[in-house]
Amino acid sequence: MAIVRTMSELKIRAPPPSPIPTASGSRSAANETLSEFLENSLQVPDLTLPGAHSRHQPSPPEIDRHSLASRESGTVDSLLRSVRMFGAFRISYHGISGEELRSLVKEAARVFGVLEKRDTGFRQHYGVNREEIVWVRWRDERMEWARDYIGAQLYQSFSEKMDKVGSRLDAIAEEVGEILVENADKQGQRRLQREESVLSLYRYNHDNVMPQNPPPSTAEEESSACDYCLNLHLPSKQCEFFVQSKQGFWSFDAGPDTIIVTVGKRLEEWSSGEFKSVSGRIMYHPEDLKGCKASFSIELKWPSLTLYRSFKRNTYKKISLADQFLFALIAIFLYSIFLRFTW
């Protein structure tokens, strides 16, 4: 019976603990301090989830065209860091004036207007709001055919303006290419066959089009954009430039005062991955358009470079003044010996 009684006693529920009495004084002050600490430390911070792309990526640096042409060491270092890290950079003071660009855009609007009335196949469409005219600058049969549709007078004016802008973009691409080749750590064994650059003119239609962020692109577009050594983009208005890399999308603000240069796959492969290839797209925002129905941009696709170091400046060692003086002394000594034996 004692055992049964003991078991029954074990089954009795223990009474709840008595509450801790609150009291005034130092103990109450400690409770208030602890409560305040817990209240502050347990608050959940406001978190913002990232969107489809990150806009916190640092913008590529702006490279001064004049400093680029003179090969200033700081400018070259900035360019190399940018193409290795971002695969892109911007060129300011590029030499294409705002008046030249506005004049070209005015002619481009007329050309697109003429081509809209005829299904010529001369334009390429990307989605609902972007069209492209590929301008073959060496005037093959296709351009002769285009002149028949556009009209001789408009064709002549438009061609002159496109060629002028295109030649300046060509010169910039050549300068950038030489710098990259001169300073590449690794180079491919084969040379890329020299090809002509491709100049494209884009029109962005803004009527009843909702902006998408980032803008969609087709596989054909991305392949075409990357299948070059360099791509030079020149917008006609303030815009947002989207970059697609292996790490995802990022963007930065751009405008007609700078040329955006992106690295293509050919240059990345040639440099054994030292220079990162990316593809780039321009997007115009409604708040920046001020009622404009269409905007334009120009892109130069640079397919190949002179990919060898025969022109590299540091391959020829400079002879110091001390060495020159030593050579002069040796020459004088040998000449004096020659004269002594001839007398």
Q: What is the pTM of this model?
A: 0.70
Q: Where are the domains of the chain?
A: 62-315
Classify 62-315 by CATH class.
mainly beta
Residue 277 binned pLDDT confidence (cut-offs 50, 70, 90): very high
pLDDT at 71: 92
* pLDDT at res. 115: 77
pLDDT of residue 253: 92
**Is the distance from CB of 225 to CB of 264 less than 8 angstroms?**
yes
Percent share of the chain, pLDDT over 90: 34
3-state secondary structure of 43: coil
Per-residue pLDDT of 290-338, as tens digits, reads 767 889 999 999 987 655 443 344 433 446 566 677 777 787 877 777 6
Per the document, the length of the chain is: 343
Give the model's confidence band at 230: pLDDT under 50 very low, under 70 low, under 90 confident, else very high. very high
Residue 171 has, within 13 A of its CA and on its CB side, a CA count of 13
Contact 209, 238 (CB under 8 A): no
Helix pair angle (152-183, 141-150), 10° resolution: 140
DSSP conformation class of 274: S
Q: Are 143 and 136 in contact (CB under 8 A)?
A: yes
Q: How far apart are CA 231 and CA 199, in angstroms?
A: 10
Is the pLDDT higher at 122 or at 62? 62
Does residue 168 register a pLDDT over 60?
yes
- Can you tell me the distance from the alpha carbon of 231 to that of 133, in angstroms, rounded to the nearest whole number? 16
Rounded Cα gap, residues 149 and 28, in angstroms:
91
Taking residues 269-274, what's their average pLDDT? 90
Q: How far apart are CA 251 and CA 247, in angstroms?
A: 13
**Are residues 169 and 235 in contact, defined by beta-carbon separation less than 8 angstroms?**
no
Q: What percent of the chain has pLDDT over 70?
A: 59
pLDDT of residue 120: 57
**How many Cβ atoms from other residues are within 10 Å of residue 151's Cβ?**
14
Average pLDDT score over the chain: 75
170 in Cβ contact with 163 (< 8 Å):
no
Is pLDDT at 190 greater than 90 in this prediction? no
Q: Which residues contact 154 (CB under 8 A, 6 or more apart)?
A: 107, 110, 111, 114
At 199, the amino acid letter reads L
Greater confidence (29 vs 200) lies with 200
Instruction: Please report the DSSP string for 168-199 in residue order.
Output: HHHHHHHHHHHHHHHH-SS--SSPPPP---EE
Q: Say which residue, 30 or 149, is predicted with more confidence.
A: 149
What confidence score (pLDDT) does residue 312 get? 40
Q: State the pairing for strand pair 248-254/294-302.
A: unpaired
Tell me the pLDDT tens digit for each residue of 133-149.
887 665 555 566 677 77
Q: What pLDDT score does 211 carry?
A: 54
pLDDT at 42 over 60: no
Cα–Cα distance measured from residue 98 to residue 118, given in angstroms and rounded to the nearest whole number? 31
Give the three-state DSSP class for 52: coil
Q: Using one digit for the tens of pLDDT, what is the confidence trace for 51-66?
A: 444 554 668 999 999 9
